[in-house]
Structure 1
Amino acid sequence: MSAAHQAFCQNLLQTLPAERVLDDEFHRLTYGTDASFYRLIPEVVVKVKDEDELQWVLRLAREHQVSVTFRAAGTSLSGQAVTDSVLVMLELNSWREFKVLDAGAKISLQPGIIGSQANQYLMPFGRKIGPDPATLNTCKIGGIAANNSSGMCCGTAQNSYHTLSGMRVVLANGTVIDTRTDAGRQTALNTQKPLLNELTKLATEVQANPELTAKIRHKYRLKNTTGYSINALVDYTDPLEILTHLMIGSEGTLGFISAVQYHTVPDYPHKATSLVLFPHVEAACLAVTALKPAPVDAVELIDGAGLRSVQGKAGMPANLADLNLDAAALLIDVRAPNAAELARKIAEVHTILSTQTLLFPAEFTQDPVRYAQLWGVRKGLFPAVGAVRPVGTTVIIEDVAFPIEQLAAGVRDLQAIFAKYHYSEALIFGHALEGNLHFVFTQDFSTPAEVDRYAGFMDDVAQLVAVKYGGSLKAEHGTGRNMAPFVELEWGQDAYQLMWKIKRLFDPENLLNPGVVLNEDPAIHLKNLKPMPATHELVDRCIECGFCEPVCPSRNLTLTPRQRIVAWREHARLKTSKNQVGLQAWDKAFAYQGLETCAIDGLCSTRCPVGINTGELVRALKTEQHGATAKKIASYAQTHIAPITQMTRFGLNAAAFKGKVLGNENFTRITQGFSKLTGDRSPIWHDAMPRGAKAAVPQAQGSNGQAVYFTACVTRSMGTAVSDSETRDLPEVMQSLMQKAGFAIITPKVVSSLCCGLPFASKGLPDQALESMTQLEAALWEASEQGKYPIVCDTSPCTLRLIECATKPMHFYETAGFIHKFLLPHLTLKPQDEPIALHITCSARKMGLDKILRELVKRCAPQVIEPEEEGCCGFGGDKGFMTPELNAAALARLKQQLPEGCHEGVSNSRTCEIGLTLHSGRQYRSVAYLVERCLG
């Protein structure tokens, strides 16, 4: 670390806690990685939680002359969120304030809010924010605004630039400007006259230059994020409007956007889509031109290679396999406020398409499942290449725009360049209405020859797009480092020098993200390329996009799935380099950061474009670490399930008694001290801990049906919380429900010794897990009379394991699913008066039970409250007992997200309910308790 950075860190630590100033090698690499194909390792990573801290960081940066780069979600693709200096990240539980204004017509958002969360806030008003990038479920408002992200339906009219209502921005010198209110605007006009006068002067000069003004208007007729948003100097005369609109798309090089206020747009409930096939790309592009004035919300072009990559995917027409590579498709989307208007729009589109050359008649679908499948496949085109790329290569997605009237010629010319440089796997897709094309290909950067190939390819693409067609080299992914050398080629010298004037006006010391957007090094796009070494077959397909991060429970504590993979890739590099000292230090850090604090819930796989489950990597690594002794202990436990559950019940009841005698607070302090003495190997007691369950076997008779009821070992061990007024165990409640519904219970033989094996699987003990599963499957097969009767398991994670691992044809249901399908038809529910909080477990999400759980709870309560976090609660089997900080970090915002009038919650996993109760201050129980209570 340089002397300047050392002094910077020392001063920083006088104000910020050490856990938010990270200068060790492990965190600098893992936290310093973004979705681009560039690798720069920061000297220090700083997590800031508010504007005061940010201003302090900027003051110290000026004092020590160290540069600063801002990072939101790190989904940027062009190298704008990496640095070899100071990386400033948003502390994840901060920067989350928002305010809906004017009945949803506007919304003010801090930069740490995920884009899809903003739309959730607006959903009750039938509105949404304009930008709709494919990363909307991951990227954050700060990045959306700083990159002027757009998307599939956004076009140019609804991006951040055109929907901006106001902004709060921190300049390089620490000055705060807020244009969201009249008072804030007046303060800025009174205090920032020198800066605002200079902006007015620049606007006057540009508007007096007809040639430059015409060029700017032409360039922004297209989607364009190359360089700065100098259209602000043509579109506005108000200097505050010029300032805030220059910030849009500035990629953190002009200031820090600490809040954005948007004009919102309608979110129409009625939608239809159609995948229309054409014999060749020219026919598709002619149809795009015809559709431009039509009432369509999106028209996505997919070339023949793209269609071939997704044939066989769910929702795709079977005839894709018969098409050749000349074929192309348009995915056309139509939306309306009501069904009649939607039908009228579809009819108009059909009329236009009837004049075009189609391979098959267009068919629109309004079915939500089919609709989601078609758009899911479109969004999956980028990872479709990533999933099949050779190990060690990188997936690159470029992003250009042609004038729409030259779109077909542009596509053909791009395909010719692919052929010239032997990118045979490349495919093209994009937002055709705006002439915006993405093209995806794989690239090996491990040899000079491969780097030269990429360099030649980029030079040819730049000449083709910027010079031959007058298009934009970066339509929506931001300039970054990737396209910085080509800004002058696209814009010309006058506009390029104008951009440098803007940079120097806002950041005269060049301390904000230097080298991004503007860079005088003509080869910067070929430097600091990210290595992608093979590390493990389970994760080698990872493209480090970061889509997994919002649902990871350890994201606020240690590492995310992306960061775990980055760390293990570095392990592979260190192992190859034979740096034993470095390798040992790295693995020591990874043991806690990567292994112990991974909940192994697998929810990351549901967000991963290529389905990677990082928990499987953690399991595999744990398996490799287990010695003979650990395996013997596991084998003993596997064959003694019944006495172990009996001992657990006894231990929980003994602890509950001690808590009652000593007082729960006193007993908690005692167990905390004992946990420290044992090296955190013993659990800490609290009043959300369960009593020991009763050993009773549920029984019920009835004539409406029969079902096998398997009480999971966690349910056989753990009753309700010691603080809970409800003392009945879950099997008692399920017995009551089934009796009232007239359903007979079939109990497997020797149920007390049965386990699905999940506790062993999660600890990387596959042999013992398999043995447990085999025994359970045999028992359930017999009890169900070879699959004749449904099987209900009262714990969601165990049900998922049964579904995934059973080899015989049986039908498995967890609590909510079983109640919904089999019991509700025979029951009458009377909703209670109070709202209910709902936690949908990771396993329930993976089983697709979200809708059923919501519907079930809605029938029992006037309001269902779901906290905005969709991730795992972090309890992870026994991790909530042995690594409680993981559960605490995952649920850090839960209590503040539940309103005062909400006094209880439901879920469908007993261990998850323990942590939810502890960290929410409400009692969480199985959804079965709520349903049973609402029977009256």
Structure 2
Amino acid sequence: MENNQGQYQQLQNRLMEHVEKERIFTDPALLLAYGTDASFYRLIPKMVVRLKNIDEVIFTIQACAHLNIACTFRAAGTSLSGQAVSDSVLITLTDDWRDHQIHDDGFKITLQPGVIGADANKYLAAFGRKIGPDPASINTCKIGGIAANNASGMCCGSAQNSYRTVDSMKLVFADGTLLNTSDLESVKAFQSKQSTLMQGIKDLCKKVADNQQLTDRIRHKYRLKNTTGYSLNALVDYSDPIEVIKHLMIGSEGTLGFIAEITYNTVIEHPHKASALIVFESIEEASKAVTALTGDPVSAVEMMDGRAMRSVADKPGMPDFIKNLNLQAGTLLIESRAGDQALLDQQCVSIMNTIAQFKMIESISFTSDANTVATLWGIRKGMFPAVGAVREVGTTVIIEDVAFPVEHLAAGVHDLQKLFDQFHYDEAIIFGHALEGNLHFVFTQSFEAEDEVKRYGDFMDAVADLVAVKYRGSLKAEHGTGRNMAPYVELEWGKDGYALMQQIKALFDPHSILNPGVIINDDPQSHLKNLKPMPKADDLIDRCIECGFCEPVCPSRTLSLSPRQRIVLYRELQRRESAGETEGASALQKVFEYQGIDTCAATGLCADRCPVGINTGDLIKKLRTSKYKKFTPIARWTADHFATTSNMVNLSLKANTLAQKVLGEKAVAKVANGLRHLSAGKTPMWIPELPTSNKHRPHNSMSADQTNKKVVYLPSCASRTMGQQAGNKESRSLTEVTESLIKKAGFDIIIPESLSDQCCGMPYDSKGMNLLADQKSKQLEMALWQASEQGKWPVLMDTSPCAKHSIEKFTHTMEILEPTVFVLKYLLNHLTIKPIEETVMLHITCSSRRMGIENSMLQLAKRCTSDVIIPEHIQCCGWAGDKGFTTPELNAAAVHTLKAQVPEHCTRGFSNSRTCEIGLSHHSGIPYQSILYLVDEASH
């Protein structure tokens, strides 16, 4: 569909009647960044629109239809087959699409398309239920994508996918018509308005019923996992057109309409589980075991070939025997679930008896031990990233997804392996959901040369013939058709099956404005076009596969860019530089300066979600080295005169407090923020939650009996200078409270020498000033080494970012603790805790998350108070050192949902970072302070 620029300008003008200009993007750099998804295709949209409600969706679809402009819907962008990219209008959703409702004691749940799959299961956990689909990307992918792709997963099979568990839907069609399938009035109105569509559906059902051969083919295809093409089983399974429409929408990949809401029939989440890893001498033996297990009480059977096991052999924590397995071995990871332990034990015995007849060479018996189970499933989950981590720069990782009839599983694996050898994909591995005959194979591919593209095309032709023709299997079992398999849909389904799909598309979308080129595509070479380049950019990020798993935890994702998008733009900058392309380079660099560098919190949370462990923050800090180079002399002076610098901060806080008293908050805000406006944001933002000056000075406290209960207390530079915010009922500073609590537990306090000169170095590190950061870190390390008597006593740092940074940087063996772990490990046994009857907010800082102490913080808070609320979807507050002052919009974006989650009766919150608490207080409407205040108040 071709459109000129004038049409897009008309569309933009029309959209701005109902959609805020800030949510309509046309800047080329942002179109590239926002237009990228997890697939190996690149289409750059002409426009990206973020919509916040169903009225905006209807208006946008109608506006596109009026101008004959194509549009594509995207949820999380984790799709692998090219179904969520567009060279026209890309429609994405704001965070306003995250509502859910639970019905019938958890047996049903209604979800908006922006709900992350794992969150849906979190909501259902208290009922012992979950949604059926369980894709590997469930911590990132969203319900809209799960339903639109009919995603399944390791345990769901085809019995619990969206097609089988959908109860009702709210849908928007290509002409803007709205249908709520659970509302009789809506159904009646739809039947009247869409009589042509309704009759067309009836005619298609009759056509299939009259064609026994086609009916049999459809039934055979859905005996397997199958997401190739449209869900033709809807025409066999149902006769009511509304039911047919509802089920055709599942797996339609946004080509038939927009899923605005879906209600699922949930499935049981068994409380008792056990897993086992069994290695057989060959893939044939493993396949025979799978066939034998089809009648046993197994919830998951994951198969891995010898190359797949070899790919993870060197990963930390792997069983030693994996390194010695030959490439012919076949491995099964088996899980069984039950309602009680006795039944689970019986099931495990039964399963082992079933597979005892096959030739096993290694095994880890069924276990429910959490650590062992995590290790076993870590083997399976680590395979895709294992290939991605070792690929050559410039290549991309491709994961394909087929299904064989389970009786042909061994032969199918064998033939796939022969194709790998024939086409020289020596690194390719095979793993998958064996009970369903569903196999994934992963390989690396370069698209930089024509002969490489041809090799890939020839390989895919051979795979399609093998799977669809020889074994009558599914070319796409659970990843969706997309652009990648669209040219092969007719090969798998035959002319009459494909013609049926063409008629379905024409009925629902007669002008083909919804995601054209996906599922139905007349170009036999479409899967070899618009291939994404993966140029070398920097060793820190070259392994990125652009999967998007990082995005949910990024504090800047709604403001500017996510880690994936930062990498996309940086790769493009480096590509242009290498190619000598100057056109548009400065404009792109300017966009990246703010969107990529200035607004990155550099928390590193992305690394914990990244399959290959990339910390995009490390790249940003590296780039900041040159950006902040001109400020290095000033920074060096502050590092060399840190006590003086701290005193200056203290004086400014005193001056601020005095100004507020004399002039009032409004006047101070007007002057300070007016200056910020005049300086184009070069001066800090003023907010009323700025802390007062901390007048308290920590000191050594030794008891007369010289006990062995001692702790080195290192107050951070923030807590040394900052007191409470003005007007807080609690007037004591953090240093006072910390001393009080330590003494209450009977510990002696050791304060390091030259305390006012000490800093962990993180303020310098965040700006890429590595030498200064290391200088301060080493200075602090030596002071603590001396104070702790060479590591004899634990060291308490009263803010978590400083503790984390020091743990990572120090070379001497010392026990460095932030407040939560210190209290739990050393103080609780010496305190009497009487919980306070109060609801409090708890913010878990990004540094605490990275240290893995989320549960510890929650445990401690629950020991001290009756009700603790951890707000959803706030992984980091975005204060990021001093960015809360210099780039306050980052803090605002990161916690934009916070205030709405604070109950009316809640009057305070707790955390473990003094600077983060400033922004949390400002945006929540309640004061936040260290969790040590809560412990001190609840303890005796």
TM-score, normalising length: structure 1? 0.98
1:773-922 map, 5 Å: 773-922=777-926
Q: Per-residue deviation at 1:391?
A: 0.5
Report the secondary structure of 1:673's partner residue.
helix
Partner of 1:4: 7
Q: Which runs of 5+ in 2 are unaligned?
A: none
CA distance in 2, matches of 1:851, 1:57: 43
- Cα displacement (A) at 1:691: 1.1
Alpha-carbon displacement from aligned partner over 1:544-603 (angstroms, at most 9, x marks no partner): 000000000000100000000000011012212323352211111111100000001111
Q: 1:182 to 1:11 in 2, by over 3 A?
A: closer
Partner of 2:910, secondary structure, is strand
What's the RMSD between the two structures over aligned residues?
Answer: 1.3
Residue 180 of structure 1 aligns with which residue?
A: 182
Q: Aligned partners of 2:624 and 2:823: how far apart in 1? A: 37
Correspondence for 1:517: 519
State which of 10, 13, 19 in structure 2 corresponds to 1:16: 19
1:362 offset after TM fit, Å? Answer: 4.3
Q: Superposed, which structure 2 residues align to 1:124-163 within 5 Å?
A: 124-163=126-165
Q: CA deviation at 1:130?
A: 0.7
Deviation at 1:897, TM superposition (A): 2.1
Mapped pair 1:730 → 2:734? yes
Question: Matched residues in 2 for 1:171 and 1:775: separation?
Answer: 65
Find the residue that maps to 2:367 and give its secondary structure. Answer: coil
Say if 2:696 and 2:733, in contact at 8 Å, map to a contact too.
no
Question: Which shows bigger deviation, 190-199 or 267-276?
Answer: 190-199
Question: 2-side partners of 1:394 and 1:528: how far apart?
Answer: 14
Which residue matches 1:90?
Answer: 93
Q: Is the 8 A contact 1:675 1:684 kept in 2?
A: yes
Read off the aligned partner of 1:197 and give its amino acid letter.
Answer: Q
2:653 paired with 1:648: no
**Higher deviation after alignment, 849-858 or 369-378:** 369-378
SS at match of 2:875: coil
The separation in 2 between residues aligned to 1:872 and 1:849, in whole angstroms, is 14
Distance 1:723 1:33 in 2: 47
**Cα pair 2:841 2:870 within 8 Å, conserved:** yes
Distance 2:338 2:448 in 1: 50
- Deviation of 1:374 after TM superposition, in Å, equals 2.1
After the TM superposition, which of the residue ranges 372-381 and 796-805 deviates more from structure 2?
372-381
Q: CA deviation at 1:902?
A: 2.7
Residue matched to 2:938: 934
CA distance in 2, matches of 1:215, 1:701: 83
Partner of 1:635 in structure 2?
636
Check 1:778–1:704 CA distance in 2 against 1; reply closer, same or farther (3 A cut).
closer
AA aligned opposite 1:72: A
Q: Any gaps of 5 or more consecutive residues in structure 1?
A: none
Q: Residues 841-887 of structure 1, C-alpha deviation per residue, up to 9 Å, x if partnerless?
A: 11111111111111111111222211221521111000011111000
SS in 1 for 2:83: coil
Q: Which residue of 1 aligns with 2:929?
A: 925
- Residue-by-residue CA offset, 1:687-715 (whole Å, 9 max, x unaligned): 32211112411443453611111111111
Alignment correspondent of 2:310: 308
Counterparts of 2:793 and 2:708 in 1: how far apart (Å)?
A: 12
User: Is 1:63 aligned to 2:66, yes or no?
Assistant: yes
- Tell me what 2:386 maps to: 384
CA contact (8 A) 2:404 2:474 kept: yes
1:2, distance to aligned residue in structure 2 (A): 2.6
CA distance in 1, matches of 2:922, 2:470: 64
In structure 2, give the amino acid aligned to 1:16. V
> Cα offset for 1:682?
2.0
1:341-396: CA deviation from partner (whole Å, max 9, x where unpaired): 22222222122122222113441221222222222331121111011100010000
Retained in 2: the 8 A contact 1:301–1:431? yes
| 2:279 match: secondary structure | strand
Contact 2:699 2:750 in 1 (8 A): no
Q: Which moved more, 1:228-237 or 1:632-641?
A: 632-641
Match of 2:206 in 1: 204
Give, in angstroms, the shift of residue 160 of structure 1: 0.5
Report what 2:114 is aligned to: 112
Provide the residue aligned with 2:441 in structure 1: 439
Among 288, 295, 298, the alignment partner of 1:293 is 295
Match of 1:683 in 2: 684
Hey, what does 1:170 align to over in structure 2?
Answer: 172
**8 Å Cα contact 2:605-2:846 kept in structure 1:** yes
Cross-structure match for 1:535: 537
Aligned residue identity for 1:74: G
One-letter code aligned to 1:644: T
**Equivalence for 2:431:** 429
892 and 198 in structure 1: CA distance in 2 versus 1, 3 angstrom threshold: same
Alpha carbons of 1:596 and 1:882: their partners in 2 closer, same or farther (altered >3 Å)? same
Matched with 1:46 is 49
Question: Which deviations, in whole Å up to 9, do the C-alpha atoms of 1:515-552 show, x marking residues without a partner?
Answer: 00110000000000000000111101000000000000
Q: Determine if the alignment matches structure 1 residue 669 to structure 2 residue 673.
A: no
Rounded Cα–Cα distance in structure 2 between residues aligned with 1:347 and 1:836: 47
Is the counterpart of residue 694 in structure 1 residue 698 in structure 2?
Answer: no
In 2: Cα distance, 1:826 partner to 1:560 partner: 45
Does structure 2 retain, via aligned residues, the 8 Å contact 1:700–1:738?
Answer: no
Any conservation in 2 of the 1:312–1:318 contact (CA below 8 Å)? Answer: no
Whole-angstrom CA distance in 1 between matches of 2:784 and 2:717? 15
Displacement of 1:836 in angstroms is: 2.0
Partner of 2:255: 253
For 1:289, give the aligned amino acid: T
Report the counterpart of residue 721 of structure 1 in structure 2.
Answer: 725
Question: Is 1:25 the counterpart of 2:28 in the alignment?
Answer: yes
The amino acid across from 1:656 in the alignment is T
Q: Describe the SS at the equivalent of 1:859.
A: helix
CA distance in 2, matches of 1:195, 1:698: 80
Give the deviation of 1:614 after TM superposition. 0.5
Specify the SS of the correspondent of 2:686: coil
* SS of match in other structure, 2:275: strand
| Closer, same or farther: CA 686–631 of 1 in aligned 2, 3 Å | closer
CA distance in 1, matches of 2:416, 2:724: 64
Cα distance, 1:667 vs structure 2: 2.3
Structure-2 separation of matches of 1:176 and 1:650 = 61
Q: CA deviation at 1:646?
A: 1.3
**Contact 1:687-1:723 at 8 Å conserved across structures:** no
Indicate the larger mover: 346-355 or 609-618. Answer: 346-355
Taking the aligned partners of 2:322 and 2:379, their CA distance within structure 1 comes to: 13
- Distance change >3 Å, CA 314–CA 295, structure 1 → 2: farther
Shift of the alpha carbon at 1:174? Answer: 0.2
Q: 677-686 or 418-427, which moves further after superposition?
A: 677-686
Equivalence map 1:447-596=2 (5 Å): 447-596=449-598
> For 1:395-417, what per-residue CA distance to the aligned partner results, in whole angstroms no more than 9, with x for missing partners?
00000000011101100000000
Q: Deviations over 1:600-651 (max 9, x none)?
A: 1111101000110111000111113343x42211111111111111111121
In structure 1, C-alpha distance between the alignment counterparts of 2:906 and 2:213, rounded to whole Å: 62
Moved more, 299-308 or 691-700: 691-700
What amino acid is the match of 1:81?
Answer: A
User: Quick check: 1:78–1:483 contact (8 Å CA) kept in 2?
Assistant: yes
Partner SS for 2:838: coil
CA distance in 2, matches of 1:855, 1:183: 49
Instruction: Say if 2:87 is the partner of 1:103.
Output: no
1:708 aligns with 2:712: yes
Please state how far the C-alpha of 1:191 moved relative to its aligned partner: 4.2
Secondary structure of the equivalent of 1:834?
strand
Alpha-carbon distance between aligned partners in 2 of 1:665 and 1:829, rounded to the nearest angstrom: 42
Superposed CA offset, 1:136-162 (max 9, x none): 010011000000000111110110100
Rounded Cα–Cα distance in structure 1 between residues aligned with 2:375 and 2:889: 38
Q: CA deviation at 1:182?
A: 4.2
